[in-house]
């Protein structure tokens, strides 16, 4: 694990909004080596779960 990854992972625990902004900038810059992959996967799974629940909720209403 690199020093950059350690700083980025620590950022997630300290300030999730700042971590998100940093992650977006790294993705746009194609800086894949500096990404906090574990937390990025976790956040994407949360978004997918939230979207799935929203679709299911709307289908029930129909």
In 10 A of CB 5, how many CB atoms?
15
Position 1 scores a pLDDT of: 59
Select the more confidently predicted residue: 62 or 49: 49
Percent of the chain exceeding pLDDT 90 equals: 73
Spatial CA neighbour of 12 closest among 2, 3, 1, 23: 23
Does the model's pTM come out above 0.75?
A: no
- What's the mean pLDDT in 46-57? 93
Look at residue 7 and tell me whether its pLDDT is greater than 80.
no
Helices then strands, counting H and E runs in the chain, come out as 3, 0
- Mean pLDDT, residues 11-26 taken together: 95
* 24 alpha carbon, distance to own chain's centre: 9
């Amino acid at each position: 694990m690199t020093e950059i990854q350690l700083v980025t992972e620590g950022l997630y625990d300290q300030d999730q909004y700042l971590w998100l902004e940093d992650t977006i900038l790294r993705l746009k810059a194609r800086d894949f080596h500096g990404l906090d992959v574990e937390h990025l996967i976790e956040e994407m799974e949360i978004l997918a779960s939230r979207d799935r629940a929203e679709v299911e909720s709307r289908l029930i209403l129909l």
